[in-house]
Every structure is written in structure tokens, then in C-alpha cells.
Amino acid sequence: MSWRRFHRSPPTAIFFRFNRHRLDIRARVRVLEEDDGFATRAAGERSFHGCHPLLSLCSVSTKSKYSMMPTNCIHRLFTTKGSVNQQEVMKAFKHFLSSVTDVTTLSMKEMCNIYIENLVRSGNLSDSVYLLGYLHSREIHLDLITYNILLNAANEANSFDIFTEIFKKLLLSSMPPDFTSYVNAAKAFHKMSDTNQLLKFIRDVSEITTDREPTVMNRIIFITAKSGQLDKSLLLFTELKNLKARMDTVTFNTVLLMLGRAGIVDQMLSEFRLMKDLGHSPDIITYNTLINCLRRLGRFDMCKDFAKEMGERGINFDLRTYTALIDAFGRAGHVNDAMRIFSEMRKSQCPSVYVYRAMISNLRKAGKFELALNLLEDMNSNTVKLIGPEEFKRKKKRGKLKVDLGGS
């Protein structure tokens, strides 16, 4: 393929300069070819139907930097015959690498990304997963967006086994999963009815991440519950306990929030006790979660107990704690306790409009109209700086997390 022919390509070809220092892709191909057993390591022979796509402009997003590659150039590089086996998968891939030696400044990793992404888009998921495994064995890791494309394709193909293989490869790469990766995991769980497969997935992930912080498992549990799969999220957590896997305060905070929102108080309290028994120190988030959940369920006596425990542990209240306690005591009719906490709050926190309104409402219900009127005048005065509804909306918007399973 001559360089002169590229000057007759469409105007997009001007984005590519001749690489005078010669990006030695051919040398990298020779390294790949040293592995004579690349096709025989896989268990059994597989036959894949369809053709390997050309990485043409029509199949690459216009937002991608790869879309500048000349269409006619790529088309000649990738056309292969219909039915291919693993050897032909590698042959087509290595032919691509060697054919673009002097027409691109893309790195090896970038070319692997665009090649695999277009395999997926053309429906060759099995071929792309095989190639992913081969590149992984050569310590060539793809971009996170490419892994997410593969994860999504595995979900669309309803193949939990393929999804598991891709997700494990992602964990073994140099990149942590992102929100999209975890949503794909929740989608895969949603379609999975085999409990044994789900537990095997958790055991594999736990083994891979055994020497790391439990961030991955924490986020899997959280996103799974957020997607409406509380039973599976609790199943994952139970398996972690059975495995005696590494957990932390965040793990338990996540589970306490799930159980509290579902109104499963007894199990929530049980997990809180286990948390302390295992040596995980509760923090301000732990107690705020417990107090808020118990407040919503009308367990005001327990709110008071946990507030006392916070003080014993030397954990200072924040605005969320004060707000929850004032509302809890007010609803229980303990307006004197509510006023005491309200006065204490004003010494260290900027009050919110909501806590004023709650306090005024509860005082009126208790018949303390003069106190209610004084608080109303105080709230409306210019001398008190309040956190208003707009600030709460901004915080809620920042903290809001929606997990859409796309009707799967």
C-alpha cells in the first residue's frame, strides 16, 4: 500500500502525517507471532460467523479521535472472509497492525481499542472477547470505555459468562471500574436468575481484589441496591461475610442504608452490632443513617439512644444529625428536648429553613404558640443566616444517583 495512494484519499487524510521515525508496529507484530500457541490455549475449537469489520468512518463515532482515519484506507485493511476461527482472528488483527505502519501515529493500545470496539459493533462479540484475553496475556490493557462497550455488549447478548470474563479482565487491568461499569454489573445481575453463578462471580471478584481496599465490592453492592435489587445486594453482602472477605465501615454504612430505607429494622440493628464486633468503628455517616431511618419509622426512643452513643464516642453532631433529632423529638412530643438540641445546634451550625419550620410546627402542635411565634420572627429576620431550599436542592442534585437498567 503506497503512501501516494493516501494523497488520493478524502480530505480526512490530511490529519495524518508520514511518520518519519517509523512507528515500528511490525516489530510488535513479530512479538505477537512468537506465541505459537495463541489459538490452541483456548478450550476447544470455536467457529465465529460474520466478517471482521473495517474500521470505517461510518462505524466509528464522529466524536472519536479515531474517526479521522481515512475510510478507504481502513476498508482495505480489515475485510476478511466470512467464517473465521481463532487463528484467523489473530491473523486479521496482526494484518491490521502491520498494514498501518506508516499512516498513523496511534499507539498500539489505541489501535487495539478501535479494532475491538468495531468487532463488537459488527456483532463479533466472541471474537472480541478472545482477542481481549490474548491482549491481556500480553499485558496490553484497553481503555475503560472499550471495556464498558464490551460489558454492555455481553449484557445485550444475555451472556453472564462473557460478562464475568470481561469484568474480571477489567479488574486485573490498570484501571478501576467507573459508574458505567457498575451499572453494567447491575444490569447483568438483573438478568441473572441462577444464584450459584452470581455467588461464583462474587467469589471471583473477592479473590481478585483481596489485597485491595473493598471499594469494588462496596460499589457493586450499592449500585445493585440502587437499581432496585435489594435481595441480590443482600445476597452479595451475605456471601462476603461467609467468605470473611475484607470489608470496611463504608461496606456496613451501605448495607445499613439499604436496610433502613426498606424498613428492615431488626436486621439493620443486627448488622450494626456485627459491624462493631468486627472492629469497624461507626462514623458520623453511620449514626446519621441509623437516626434518620429510625426517625422515619417512628422509633424516636432509639434515635435518642444513638445520639447518646455518639456523644460517648466523641462524635460531634453535624447539621443532618441535629435536623433529624429535632424533628424526631418534636414529633414524639418532646418539645423541650427539641428546643434544647435546637439551641445547641445554633452554637455550632448554620440552621436550615427546614429545621426552623419543623420546630415551629411541632411547637404549635404542643400548644406552645408564643415560642412558635418567636421562632417564626427569628427565622424571618435578617440577623439569622439560614441554609435555604435552593442550597438543599443543589446538594440533593449533586448527591442524587439514578441507576437505569434500561428496561432489561
User: What are the tens digits of pLDDT across the range 55-87?
Assistant: 332 333 333 434 434 333 333 333 333 334 788
Residue that the C-alpha cell 465501615 belongs to: 249
Give the per-residue pLDDT at 208: 94
Residue type, 404: D
Give the per-residue pLDDT at 406: 67
- Pinpoint the alpha helices (H) of 173-214: 179-191, 195-208
Residue type, 252: F
Residue that the C-alpha cell 460499589 belongs to: 219
Give the per-residue pLDDT at 48: 32
CB 123 within 8 A of CB 154: no
Give the per-residue pLDDT at 7: 36
Give the per-residue pLDDT at 391: 54
In whole angstroms, how far apart are CA 7 and each of 57, 67, 71, 100? 17, 17, 13, 15
CA distance 352 to 324: 12
Give the per-residue pLDDT at 265: 95
**Nearest CA-CA partner of 327 in 311, 343, 342:** 342
CB 211 within 8 A of CB 174: no
In whole angstroms, how far apart are CA 329 and each of 261, 266, 288, 325, 363? 20, 22, 15, 6, 11
Q: Which cell goes with 355? A: 429545621
Specify the pTM.
Answer: 0.75
Give the per-residue pLDDT at 396: 52
Give the per-residue pLDDT at 120: 92
CA distance 377 to 34: 83
Give the per-residue pLDDT at 24: 45
CA distance 161 to 195: 13
Residues in the chain with pLDDT values less than 70: 1-84, 100-105, 382-384, 388-402, 404, 406-408
